[in-house]
Structure 1
């Protein structure tokens, strides 16, 4: 019990430190966390509104892109922020009470709270606009459990492999870069013709976005969404991450 209390205090201290480092003492840092996704969604809305009569789902371009972009950001922003958790707090690991996993937990809590708040604020206006124009909304985002497991699982693996294998970091960046275009942010994966649909559905992020959108659009059938597959990938990455992390504790402290 005392061990858990110590780590809780360490995580709390790291959380305060991360907030100060990331957002600073001025409110501008927090405002930018909101403006960045809002600007992306606005840009996509303007572009696609000019070239298409209606979105692929519903009547609101803003809500369609917001549900896709926010769902994708739950993964992308968290993994990007957590990947360097251990490396950025290297000097603190010289203290015996600070464990490498504490740095990841602190960043995960901060990013989860930040992304959730941003999602609530950004989605509020498009949702009200869609309702006024006759789009029925369920407003019940799904797939949260899988998102919570997939994000730290990938990040924990990366924290270790980025330190041990610099080439892996480059390869991961190359593979991760096009995910924004192929994960269903701009389109409905179930509308992709066969056999290409089967290839698209291999990407677990596609299932996360489909589940998230289904929580907002009750009429959306989300054909091809496989929550068992998504949870399986999430638990597998989390297990692999914890295993690699446990076996590399000395490496994380010394390198």
Structure 2
């Protein structure tokens, strides 16, 4: 009980520190967290609105791209922010009460809250300004978000260790991770890709996250190829591997 109490206090202190470091004491930092995704969605809406008459789903280009972009960000922003959690708080790890996992937990909580707030504000604004009534299916939305967070957390825990041990791996991961935005279904529907290429696309767990997320906003979307069992398996297997690597590298994380 004493250990848990100490753990909660440390995570709380780290959370306050991360908020101050990331957003600063002025509201401008929080505003930018909202403006950045809004600007991306607005730009994609303008570009693709000029190319095509209607989006792949529904009447709104903004909502179509927002559902893809926000769902992807629950994974991408998570890994980007958590990858450096241990390294950024290295000085604090000299204190025996601060464990490497505390830095991960603090950043995980902050990132989930930040992306959720962005999702509510951006998607809420788009839906409120649409002329077509939208019916939300919350179980699909929350399920996709949860799996994106679990998968992102697992990847980040693995990266936290491997980035320290193998600097070259950090460069390789950056190169491999960069095109995911283009091939994960943010701009297109995997259902529309002809065989056998659609089977290759569906190997990407992020595709299933985005398809599941979009099902929550488009009741008519059948999401052919969506396999939540596959997504659950990949997400929790990655998380288990991350916890295993992280646990057995505790000394390395403190002393590297």
2:5 match: 5
When the two structures are aligned, how many residues end up with a matched partner?
Answer: 253
TM-score (norm 2): 0.97
Moved over 6 A (4+): none
2:160 match: 159
Quote the Cα distance in structure 2 between the aligned partners of 1:138 and 1:223: 19
Query: Are the equivalent residues in 2 in contact too, given 1:60–1:129 (CA < 8 A)?
Result: no
Structure 1 unaligned regions, length at least 5: none
Alpha-carbon distance, 1:145 to partner: 2.9
Alpha-carbon distance, 1:127 to partner: 1.5
- SS of 2:39's equivalent in the other structure is helix
2:179 match: 178
1:236 match: 237
Alpha-carbon distance, 1:213 to partner: 0.2
Quote the Cα distance in structure 1 between the aligned partners of 2:106 and 2:128: 34
| 1:25-36 matched pairs, under 5 angstroms | 25-36=25-36
Quote the Cα distance in structure 1 between the aligned partners of 2:216 and 2:38: 20
2:67 match: 67
Query: Are the equivalent residues in 2 in contact too, given 1:150–1:237 (CA < 8 A)?
Result: yes
2:199 match: 198
Quote the Cα distance in structure 2 between the aligned partners of 1:149 and 1:197: 25
2:136 match: 138
Alpha-carbon distance, 1:129 to partner: 3.2
Q: Residue by residue, what CA displacement relative to the aligned partner does 1:138-160 show, whole Å, maximum 9, x if unpaired?
A: 25214233123111100000000
Query: Are the equivalent residues in 2 in contact too, given 1:127–1:137 (CA < 8 A)?
Result: no
| 1:89-128 matched pairs, under 5 angstroms | 89-128=89-128
Quote the Cα distance in structure 2 between the aligned partners of 1:42 and 1:74: 19
Q: Residue by residue, what CA displacement relative to the aligned partner does 1:200-250 show, whole Å, maximum 9, x if unpaired?
A: 000000000000000000000000000000000001000000000011000
- SS of 1:143's equivalent in the other structure is helix
1:226 match: 227
Alpha-carbon distance, 1:128 to partner: 2.4
Alpha-carbon distance, 1:52 to partner: 0.3
